[in-house]
Each structure stands twice: as structure tokens, then as C-alpha cells.
């Protein structure tokens, strides 16, 4: 039976948890996740865990933060003037927004602090700095 290798399109079911056991994502109740190995569409550690598996194989893998969403970077915390945020947005801690950069790039940010005149935005991925655990089942190789 064929083993998954770079260039193969695969379908996987998965459950992602933090080391504390808290679940942050799962394919349960959905179609399997489909992607091509080697294209970088999923985090490196997740992709690496699938290489060598055969359809029907399952595996649990711990992925350190540097192979997941990277370390938490304090330089990605920005204090912006409250006036730079549209008035129709009801600000609250944890709110996800999009910051449009001067070059047109859109960066997802999370509101982490609201002050009288400033708002702190965090451009780190919500799972940055976290070691992740994935239970993975390879469904098919195409």
C-alpha cells in the first residue's frame, strides 16, 4: 500500500489540542481536510507527521511551537489610536479584526486591551507560542 509522500494530495481527519488537553480544532463532523504535501498549506509539523503514513494509519504527534505557529512575538503587539478604528465596531477584548497595511496586505489582529485613547492589537496567531498535539488519521492518498 502506498505511503504518503511529498507531492501527494491527502485527506486527513484530525483533532488538535493544547498540551493541557484543551481542544482548539477538529475535523469531527466535517469532511476530511484535503491538501497537497509539500505545498506549505498546513503547519510544517502537521505535514511532516503525515509523510510515511498509509491510508487507515493513525498517529498522535506533539508539534513544538517553532514547527506550528512560531514563538509569541511581543513586537507584534500594537497600540493604535482608538480613532483609527471605525466607530461602528463595538470593541471588546478578544475581538478579531483585520488591519490593512499601507501596502494593501491584510493582517488578522486580536483586540487585547482597550484604554481611553488607545487600543492594543495583537498580530500573533492565537496559537503562537503553544506546543500542539494532533491526533491524525490518514483517510486517502490521491
Domain with 95 in it: what CATH number? 2.40.10.330
The pLDDT confidence band at residue 101, using thresholds 50, 70 and 90, is: confident
Taking alpha carbons only, the member of 137, 125, 139 closest to residue 24 is 125
**Is 81 part of a structural domain of the chain?**
yes
Number of domains, the chain:
2
DSSP class per residue in 68-105: TT----GGGEEEEEGGGS-TTS---TT-EEEEEPTTS-
- Give residue 99's pLDDT: 87
**Is 78 part of a structural domain of the chain?**
yes
* Averaged pLDDT, 124-138: 97
- Give residue 1's pLDDT: 84
**Is 4 part of a structural domain of the chain?**
no
Listed range (32-41, 101-110, 129-138) with the worst mean pLDDT: 101-110
Asked if residue 137 lies in contact with residue 57, where contact means CB atoms within 8 angstroms, the answer is: yes
Whether residue 64 is found in the same domain as residue 78: no
β-strands 58-63, 132-141 pairing: antiparallel
Inform me whether the pLDDT recorded for 52 exceeds 90: yes
Whether residue 34 is found in the same domain as residue 103: no
The pLDDT confidence band at residue 45, using thresholds 50, 70 and 90, is: very high
Domain with 25 in it: what CATH number? 3.10.50.40
Indicate the average pLDDT of the chain.
95
Whether residue 27 is found in the same domain as residue 57: yes
Whether residue 46 is found in the same domain as residue 78: no
Whether residue 59 is found in the same domain as residue 81: no
Whether residue 109 is found in the same domain as residue 40: no
Whether residue 44 is found in the same domain as residue 79: no
- Give residue 126's pLDDT: 93
Whether residue 15 is found in the same domain as residue 54: yes
Inform me whether the pLDDT recorded for 62 exceeds 90: yes
Domain extent for 111:
74-122
Cα torsion 34, 51, 46, 29: sign:
positive
Amino acid at each position: 500500500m502506498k505511503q504518503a509522500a511529498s507531492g501527494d494530495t491527502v485527506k486527513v481527519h484530525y483533532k488538535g489540542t493544547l498540551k493541557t488537553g484543551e481542544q482548539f480544532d477538529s475535523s469531527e463532523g466535517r469532511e476530511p481536510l484535503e491538501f497537497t504535501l509539500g505545498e506549505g498549506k498546513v503547519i510544517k509539523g502537521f505535514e511532516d507527521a503525515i509523510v510515511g503514513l498509509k491510508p487507515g494509519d493513525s498517529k498522535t504527534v506533539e508539534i513544538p511551537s517553532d514547527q506550528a505557529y512560531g514563538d509569541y512575538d511581543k513586537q507584534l503587539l500594537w497600540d493604535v489610536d482608538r480613532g483609527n478604528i471605525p466607530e461602528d465596531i463595538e470593541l471588546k477584548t478578544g475581538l478579531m479584526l483585520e488591519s490593512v497595511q499601507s501596502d494593501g496586505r491584510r493582517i488578522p489582529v486580536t483586540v487585547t486591551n482597550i484604554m481611553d485613547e488607545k487600543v492594543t492589537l495583537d498580530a500573533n496567531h492565537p496559537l503562537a507560542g503553544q506546543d500542539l498535539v494532533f491526533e491524525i488519521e490518514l483517510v486517502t492518498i490521491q
